[in-house]
């Protein structure tokens, strides 16, 4: 039973990861990543990490993906650059390099004896257990992550809002309109004057 | 982890990591590059959780949560850059960003 769930989730994870990389439309890519995240959460549940699986769904599939989808919608069709638009030798080199790394890791992993998994009780991976580790042993990492997140939020706002062209005030817009209307009127009267003069010149 | 052993999880994680790496190397759109980076980070999360289950400690799970926080920070900065590029009417193509190239 466990093996069946594992292989279904693993196949879904690999298929959705390929879709993320191969899709032309970034919107479809983001939705494929959503599928990838959910299947990984299933695998984490199989590994008895309930809290991490829940955080994966809530934080990743909820918050981060919504941010992604907002930006993809904001950017619109300009974000679409298809796969395979590198030069052909670059594509081949990238796939060869990736395959080499995969073979390397797989050889190491499959030839190492990791021994038997330790048996764990029901409290393993519960929010209580993870939370306790967070506020005792890893309290420094916890605080550092919160500061990094805060700094990243400030940096993101500054990047996104920095280079905005200045908006005209209402007075400036009205002044501009009046100026252009006056110019149009002057041009029209000059053109009429010219036409009358041309006619007079032709007649004499 | 009774019927499926640790090496299988690690192998799956390696495959996902490779797919994400190929995406980062192959795609020129910064949005898709960021999405591929997310795939890579998630494969590392799977590795951490699998090792935590093998060893029987919560340390790996704590680090998986830390990686999630760092991934959120990375996405905020990356998407902020994409929004800034869009506002300056630049082409969303990482090959075109060559001002700093030596």
Q: Do the chains contact at A114 and B6, CB–CB below 8 Å?
A: yes
pLDDT of residue A140: 93
Please tell me the distance from the alpha carbon of residue A62 to that of residue A36, in angstroms, as a whole number.
13
Q: How many CB atoms lie within 10 A of CB A62?
A: 14
For chain A (204 residues), the mean pLDDT of every run of 10, in chain order, is 91 95 89 94 92 92 90 82 72 90 90 81 85 91 93 86 67 84 89 87 64
Q: Do the chains contact at A117 and B93, CB–CB below 8 Å?
A: no
Can you read off the two tokens belonging to residue A163? 């280079």
Contacts of residue A48 in chain B, CB cutoff 8 Å?
53
What mean pLDDT do residues B77-97 have? Answer: 83
pLDDT of residue A156: 86
pLDDT of residue B96: 77
pLDDT in tens, B58-71: 889 999 999 999 99
**Alpha-carbon torsion (A96, A98, A100, A106), positive or negative:** negative
**Alpha-carbon torsion (B72, A30, A130, B47), positive or negative:** negative
pLDDT in tens, B20-76: 999 998 888 889 999 999 999 999 999 999 999 988 888 899 999 999 999 999 999
| Closest alpha carbon within chain A to B91 | A78
pLDDT of residue B27: 85
pLDDT of residue B93: 81
Please tell me the distance from the alpha carbon of residue A129 to that of residue A145, in angstroms, as a whole number.
19
Residue A84, Ramachandran bin (φ over 0: left; ψ between -120 and 50: alpha; else beta): left
Can you read off the two tokens belonging to residue A66? 């919504």
CB-based contact, A41 to chain B, within 8 Å: no
pLDDT of residue A78: 74
Q: What's the pTM value of the predicted model, to 2 decimals? A: 0.81
pLDDT of residue B83: 87
pLDDT of residue A169: 78
Please say if the pLDDT value at position B89 is more than 80: no
CB-based contact, A83 to chain B, within 8 Å: yes
Q: Are A61 and B42 within 8 A, CB to CB? A: no
Q: Pick from B3, B76, B63: which is nearest to A155 by CA? A: B76
Q: Do the chains contact at A52 and B45, CB–CB below 8 Å?
A: yes
pLDDT of residue A121: 80
Residue A116, Ramachandran bin (φ over 0: left; ψ between -120 and 50: alpha; else beta): beta
């Amino acid at each position: 039973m466990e093996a069946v769930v594992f292989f279904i989730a693993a196949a879904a994870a690999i298929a959705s990861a390929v879709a993320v990389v191969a899709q032309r439309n970034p919107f479809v890519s983001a939705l494929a990543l959503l599928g990838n995240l959910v299947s990984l959460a299933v695998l984490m549940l199989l590994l008895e990490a309930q809290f991490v699986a829940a955080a994966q769904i809530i934080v990743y599939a909820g918050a981060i993906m919504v941010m992604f989808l907002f930006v993809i919608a904001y950017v619109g069709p300009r974000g679409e650059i298809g796969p395979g638009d590198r030069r052909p030798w670059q594509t081949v080199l990238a796939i060869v390099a990736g395959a080499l790394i995969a073979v390397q890791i797989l050889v190491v992993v499959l030839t190492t004896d990791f021994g038997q998994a330790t048996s764990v009780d029901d409290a393993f991976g519960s929010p209580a257990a993870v939370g306790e580790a967070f506020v005792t042993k890893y309290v420094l990492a916890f605080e550092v992550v919160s500061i990094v997140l805060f700094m990243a939020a400030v940096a993101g706002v500054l990047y996104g809002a920095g280079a905005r062209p200045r908006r005209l005030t209402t007075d400036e817009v009205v002044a501009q309109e009046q100026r252009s209307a006056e110019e149009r009127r002057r041009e029209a009267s000059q053109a009429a004057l010219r036409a009358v003069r041309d006619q007079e010149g032709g007649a004499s | 982890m009774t019927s499926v052993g640790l090496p299988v999880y690690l192998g799956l994680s390696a495959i996902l990591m490779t797919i994400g790496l190929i995406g980062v190397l192959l795609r020129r759109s910064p949005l898709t590059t960021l999405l591929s980076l997310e795939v890579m980070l998630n494969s590392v999360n799977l590795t951490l959780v699998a090792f935590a289950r093998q060893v029987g400690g919560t340390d790996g799970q704590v680090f998986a949560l830390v990686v999630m926080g760092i991934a959120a920070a990375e996405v905020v900065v990356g998407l902020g850059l994409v929004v800034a590029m869009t506002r300056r009417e630049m082409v969303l193509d990482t090959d075109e960003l060559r001002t700093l190239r030596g």
